[in-house]
Amino acid sequence: MSTDLFSVKGRVALVTGASRGLGKVFAQTLAAHGATVVLSSRRESDLRPVADAIAKAGGKADIAPFDVQDESAAVAAIKAIPGRHGRLDILVNNAGIVLRKMAVDTGTDEFRNVLETNITGSFVVAREAGRIMLQQDYGRIVNLASVMSVVGRASVAAYVASKHAIVGMTKTLAAEFGPNVTVNAIAPGYMLTEITEALQKNREFSELLERRTAARRWGRPEDLSGALMLLSSDASAYITGHTLVVDGGLTTVLAGA
């Protein structure tokens, strides 16, 4: 199989939540493989070091700061991308937050805030990127799901609800946007990023995770690079509506326990 199938050289990619964690690694990975990457998060000051690092490594990066909860700002920023770069080929819909509280202690506004960011914000970004991709008759949308899209866990009700919703949205957008715009999702397991710092410090949880994961370790952001390149490139031309779980075997082992 030709390696050109996995190429993103010359493509233009938007990565939300690109200032840190998985989004930062996704942006760096796409840039390293030849894509021009438009970095987004709420604050330009957080994005500038990522853009500078990509440029220093020989890649191409631009900055388009917006809050995914601010619909008008998101719409304007995404509409501007083809004017600046000629097109928009890839969306990595990564922005998200987590709230760790038991359901009985979670306020309704707190619950709504998580859903507004993780699912409503993701929908707005995918919708606007989809408009552009449908006009150019090509696109790759990669939504960020989670192992919490396929299992449940105490203390993260809003997060679990939002990530289950991502899977449903992915399927529906795939049905609407085909045949040449694909919509898929990556469902990472527990990754060594800022969002899981509290869990990493919990020795009991960390040891349980390693026992229950076939890979016997936490995931690293770079473990998602292969899935990202597959779903962002022409290699996934006949894959759409799919959620690819990348969790070291965690959900498989749990399902068989």
Calculated CA dihedral for residues 139, 144, 149, 152, nearest 10 degrees: -170
Q: Would residue 138 show up in a list of annotated catalytic residues for this protein?
A: no
Q: What is the pLDDT of residues 119-166, one digit of tens each?
A: 999 999 999 999 999 999 999 999 999 999 999 989 999 999 999 999
On the question of pLDDT at 2 being above 90, the answer is no
Under 8 Å between Cβ of 129 and 82: no
Mean pLDDT score of the chain:
95
Q: HEC string of 137-166?
A: CCEEEEEECCHHHCCCCCCEHHHHHHHHHH
User: What is the largest distance, in Å, between two alpha-carbon atoms of the chain?
Assistant: 53
Residues 63-85 have pLDDT tens digits of 999 999 999 999 999 999 999 99
- Is 166 in contact with 185 (CB distance < 8 Å)? yes
> Per the residue annotation, which of 138, 159, 190, 238 is the catalytic one?
159
Strands (DSSP E) found in the chain: 12-16, 36-40, 60-63, 90-93, 139-144, 181-188, 243-246
The amino acid at 91: L
Which has more confidence, 254 or 112? Answer: 112
Portion of the chain with pLDDT greater than 70, in percent: 97
**CA 230/CA 249 separation, integer angstroms:** 19
CB atoms within 10 A of CB 52: 11
Read off the tokens for 174: 């795939």
Q: What digits encode the pLDDT tens for the residues 21-68?
A: 999 999 999 999 999 999 999 999 999 999 999 999 999 999 999 999
Q: How much is the pLDDT for 66?
A: 98
Q: Which residues contact 202 (CB under 8 A, 6 or more apart)?
A: none
Euclidean distance between the first and final Cα of the chain, in Å? 37
Rounded to two decimals, what is the model's pTM?
Answer: 0.95
